[in-house]
Structure 1
Amino acid sequence: MAINKAYQTYQNNAVNTASGGELTLMLYNGCIKFIKQAMNNIENNQIEEKNKHIQKAQSIIQELMLTLNQEVEISQQMLPLYEYMNYQLTEGNIKNDVSHLEEALHFATEFRDTWKQVLQQTRQKEHTQGAQV
């Protein structure tokens, strides 16, 4: 039990001290994790668990949609993609069809990987600028 409490404290601290960019990365990672769990649940005929994990992934996607800045052009392009992911998750949930979840997983993974690259480039740029001062 002490290990679980220590891990929970670590997770809370990680979230509380993360930048906005890092929080977005955490959301993508969580979405990927829940989609994979739902796929595993379908394969093991664990319907109730599948539903729970898909709903968690959908909640993350909805949060990502809410945080989009609609004044930025890329955000206007991302919204329909998030809506498509949400649709695929719904279809996968209703039909117990892993192929729909795989489609949503593909997008979540691509977005996560791209976001990770953006964070790394931003950190490198900040580090370079800080060294020049």
Structure 2
Amino acid sequence: MYQKNPNLYLKNQVMSASPNKLIEMLLEGGIKNIRLGILALEKEQLVKASEYLLKAQDIVSELRYSINTEIDSEIPQQLIQLYDFMYSQLVIGNIDQDIKVLQEVQKLLTELLETWKEISVAG
């Protein structure tokens, strides 16, 4: 059934995921879309690249606005600044078709994902 409708599988995954798992899935989605955007740029498929990079921008924006700012710590504000930076870099990378800028954002998201997984396991 899921092979015929992969969106149904994804919907079921999202609907049954914990908040921690949802953040993990968003981070993975951002990384994947940047990677696909870079591959499309390398093949000079500019429209396709832009579509992937816009999805990555949407994901980073979602991550940024999902931060609980009521936590008494500097971490939420630091994450907001990091996500804002990544978002602006994605916009620049998309407009300028700058693979190096996109790779830097991909690296930051990968590091965040690794840290998130460590925190989720420890917590």
TM-score, normalised via structure 2 length: 0.92
What are the residue-to-residue correspondences of 1:14-93 with 2, within 5 Å?
14-72=13-71, 73=73, 74-93=75-94
Question: What is the Cα-based RMSD across aligned positions, in Å?
Answer: 1.4
Deviates more, 1:28-37 or 1:81-90: 81-90
The code of the aligned residue for 1:37 comes to L
1:11 is displaced (CA, Å) by 1.8
Larger Rg over CA atoms: 1
Q: Deviations over 1:43-64 (max 9, x none)?
A: 0001001110111001011111
Which sections of structure 2, spanning at least 5 residues, go unmatched? none
Deviates more, 1:31-40 or 1:85-94: 85-94
Q: How many pairs are equivalent?
A: 121
Q: Which one has a larger percent helix, Structure 1 or Structure 2?
A: 1
Q: Deviations over 1:89-130 (max 9, x none)?
A: 1111111110010111011001111101111112xxxxxxxx
The code of the aligned residue for 1:103 comes to E
1:34 is displaced (CA, Å) by 0.1
Which sections of structure 1, spanning at least 5 residues, go unmatched? 123-133
Deviates more, 1:21-30 or 1:11-20: 11-20
**Percent sequence identity over matched residues?**
35
The code of the aligned residue for 1:111 comes to L
The code of the aligned residue for 2:98 comes to D
TM-score, normalised via structure 1 length: 0.86
Stretches (4+) displaced over 6 A: none
1:88 is displaced (CA, Å) by 1.1
